[in-house]
Amino acid sequence: MNNSFETVQIGSWREVFDLPEVKHGPSVFRGQSADQDLETSLERQFRRYSIRGEHFLHKEWALLREFQRRAHLYLQDVPTNEDLVGWMALMQHHGAPTRLLDFTYSFFVACYFAFMECSEKPVVWAVSDLWLRECLSPNELRHDLLGRQIDVANTQLKMLHEEFRGGGSPTRVLDMVLMIEPTHQIQRLAVQQGLFLMPLNLHNGFMKNLLSTPSHSDDADSDWISETSKHIKKLQFSKEVAREGLLELRKMNITAESLFPGIDGLAKSLNHTVLAV
């Protein structure tokens, strides 16, 4: 699997400004404090409790149904029953395990999330925005593309859940990832310039779905577009570069206080204030 994407070691903070994903884009990013494959919270729960693949859809549906049944006790504004992606986005926001994975349009926001724990081997994943937007149809406008991806996601989720509840074998689902911007924006997601990537095939995990996502590009001259391995890049940082990056991000006003609305953000930001005082 490691041969299916490009890995780049970042030697200094200054180098990030020369990265094509930062200078030109378009890309979406995810920062992780550990050098690990991309994995959803639902995948981690399945592995933690040794849940077998034939039970994945049942478990996902049960979690979704329970959240829908009780969310009105805590929230006034909730998605419609048909907007399964909207419900999953709300679940993800409040810490429930889902098949959604948080990404951001901002490279520097992703860096903050990678560096915030000051771990030994933080990484930032970069995925081609153009590739993800065009995986269903290459000739639609951005707004239409994102709207269509949400429609496809809701249709697929509804179909899969209905089939398993009816006792039938689920229809074969493509291994691919969709780019999701919820119809009703969540405050923290907006502040962090966030979005979600969603794997369609729950059985095969996020990484296999991502690496199998089809491409419709005919641009053979672009290294970033021309083959699957060029759509995905993993940027590796040392602890020293991450420490330097945190200080520089603070100067850019990218801190926990700016990324997490409310008093919780202020409190979290004090963890890194010690570097600057």
Percent of the chain with pLDDT over 90: 64
CB 224 within 8 A of CB 8: no
Write phi, then psi, for 124 (nearest 5 degrees): -125, 125
Judge whether 264 lies within some domain.
no
User: Listing from the earlier edge strand, what are the strands of the sheet with 177-180?
Assistant: 6-10, 232-237, 123-128, 27-32, 101-104, 194-199, 177-180
pLDDT value at 164 more than 80 = no
pLDDT for 183-235, tens place per residue?
887 888 999 999 999 999 999 999 999 999 887 654 444 443 345 668 999 99
In a 13 Å sphere around the CA of 169, the CA atoms on its Cβ side amount to 1
Judge whether 245 lies within some domain.
no
Judge whether 51 lies within some domain.
yes
pLDDT for 67-94, tens place per residue?
999 999 999 999 999 999 999 999 999 9
Q: Which tokens go with 72?
A: 């009105």
What CA–CA distance (Å, rounded) separates 121 from 32? 9
Judge whether 273 lies within some domain.
no
What CA–CA distance (Å, rounded) separates 34 from 119? 7
Judge whether 29 lies within some domain.
yes
Exposed / middle / buried, residue 125 (Cβ in 10 Å: 0-12, 13-18, 19+): buried
The model's confidence at residue 142, banded by pLDDT at 50, 70 and 90, is low
Give the residue from 125, 126, 105 showing the smallest Cα distance to 190.
105
Give the residue from 243, 207, 25, 229 showing the smallest Cα distance to 114.
243
- How many domains, the chain? 1
The model's confidence at residue 275, banded by pLDDT at 50, 70 and 90, is low
pLDDT for 23-62, tens place per residue?
887 899 999 999 999 999 999 999 999 999 989 999 999 9
pLDDT value at 1 more than 90 = no
Judge whether 223 lies within some domain.
yes
Judge whether 258 lies within some domain.
no
Structural domain harbouring 112: 2-240
Residue range 115-127: average pLDDT? 94
Judge whether 270 lies within some domain.
no
Give the residue from 193, 192, 210 showing the smallest Cα distance to 201.
210
How far CA 136 is from CA of 78, 106, 132, 206, in Å, comes to: 28, 24, 8, 18
